[in-house]
Structure 1
Amino acid sequence: MPKKPIAKPVAKKKIERFPEPPSMPPETSVIAIGDIHGRLDLLEPLLVRIERRASLLPGLRHIVVSVGDLIDRGPDSAGVIERLMNGVRGCELIVLLGNHEDALLGFLDDKPIGDAWRSFFGADAFLQSYGIASRQNYKVEKTPDRLRQDMLAAIPQAHLDFLRALPTSYSIGDYFFAHAGVRPGVPLAEQDDRDLVWIREEFLHSKQRFEKKIVHGHTPVRKPDFNRNRINLDTKAYASGILTAVRFEGIEAVVF
C-alpha cells in the first residue's frame, strides 16, 4: 500500500514585537489625552497649552490623540464634543471611540448595549448638557422611545455624525492607541472593534509584549500607569479633576 503523505505542521504566524525602548518617528510629537468625561473645563486649558507648544515648534509634526470617553459623568459632554469638532490649531487630531460613546449610539439605535448607557453610565450629565431633563423624568425602563426622540431632536446632527465616524484605533511608530486595550494573542491588524472599545481584565492582566506598545484609557487609575506593555491614561478626570496627557517624542514618553 502507498504511504500516506505526512502532513506538514502549520507554521504559526510570526508576530514582531515592538523594540525596547519604543519610539515615535523622527520630527513627530504625539500628545495622547485620557478619558475626558464631559470635563471641558480641564480639556480647554490643556488644548491651549498644546496649541501654544505647536506654534513654538513649527518644525515638528504635531498629533493629538484622544483615547475616547468624551461624554457622560462630567458636566459638559456637549461642549467637549463641540470643542474637539473644531480641531486643535497646528495639530492633527485623532479622536477614538470610547465605550461611553459606543453605548450612547447603541441607545439611539435601539441596540441592547444602550441599556447599559441609560442605566449605569452617567447618562443624566450627558442629557443635561443638551438641555434635556434627567432620564428619571422618563419611564425609560418601559418606554425609552420618547427619551430617544427628545435626544435626537436636541443633539445637533453634526455631533452625532462626529461620534459615528470615530475610529477604534490609531497606530504610529511603535505605539498603538485604543480606548480599552487589545485582546492578547490576536495580531493588532485583526483586533475586533468591540475588544478595542470594551475589553478589560484579559488585557490588563496580560504580560504579553504586543507588536506595539498599547496606549489606552477605560480603567481608572490614580496616576498615569506606565507598564512594560501598555500605558493607561485614565485618571478619572470627572471625579479627580486630573485630565492626563502624555507626550511621545523619539524614545520619550512623559506626562505633559
Structure 2
Amino acid sequence: MPTTDRTMIVTGGSKGIGAAIARAAGAAGYRVALTYRSDAAGAESVARDVEKAGGEALVISADVAREEDVLALFSAVDATFGPPDVLVNNAGGVGPLGRLEAISAAALHDVLAINVVGSFLCCREAVRRMSTGKGGRGGTIVNMSSRAAELGGAGEWIHYAASKGAIDSLTAGLAREVAVEGIRVNAVAPGLIATDLHAAAGAPDRLARLGPAVPMQRPGTAEEVAAAVLWLASPASSYVTGAILPVSGGR
C-alpha cells in the first residue's frame, strides 16, 4: 500500500466529496486532518476508513467561517502532524434552492461566509506555513469550485454560483502570488455529482432530472472528484498551478 509522510487537511470531510477525498488520501498513505461542523459521527466514521486504508487521521470540529476555529484547526494540525503539505478547501454550503429574488440577506451571508471567507482564511493559514519565503517547505492548495461558477446556477443557486466564482478568482490570484514560494494553487470544479447534497437542499429528484442532459449522460461520483484532487495534490501535477479542472462529464 502506498505510503507518504505528507499531511493533508480536508475541510468538510464528514460526508460527500470531502469524505471521498479523505478516504482516497488515506489510501495514498497521507496523514489526514478532516474537519466537520455538525456531523461528528460521520467524521469519526471517515477517520476510521482513513486508518483502515493505511493513513493516519485527526478529526477536528471547525466552522471555517469563524476565524478562531480556523486558527484552532491549524494549531491542532501543527501540534499533531506538523505543518500541512496539502490543504483541500472543501467545506461549503449551497444555501436555499430558489430564485435570487427569494434569497434572504442572512442566507446570502451564510453561503458567502463558509464558501468564500472560510476558504480565504484557510488559504491564509496554509500559506503562512507552506511558503518557502517564510521558512516553509512548500505545499499544495486545492480549492473546491463548481461548474456553477461558469454556468450561473439560474433558477436554483445563483448565490452559490457567485461564491464559487470568487473561489476561481482566489485560485487564479493566489497561484500567481505564491508560485515562487513553492506553493501550487489549483481548483477542481465538479459538475452534477451524486451526493446527498441535492436531497438535503430539497431537490431529491435533481440527479435523475439533470443527469441525462450531461454529455456523458450520468452524474459523476464523489470518488471521481477525489481522484482529481489527489492528482492535483501529487507530484504528478508539479507544473500545474492556477488551473481550474472541470470534473463534470462535459457539462
TM-score category (smaller protein) = 0.3 to 0.5
Bigger radius of gyration among the two: 1
Greater helix share, structure number: 2
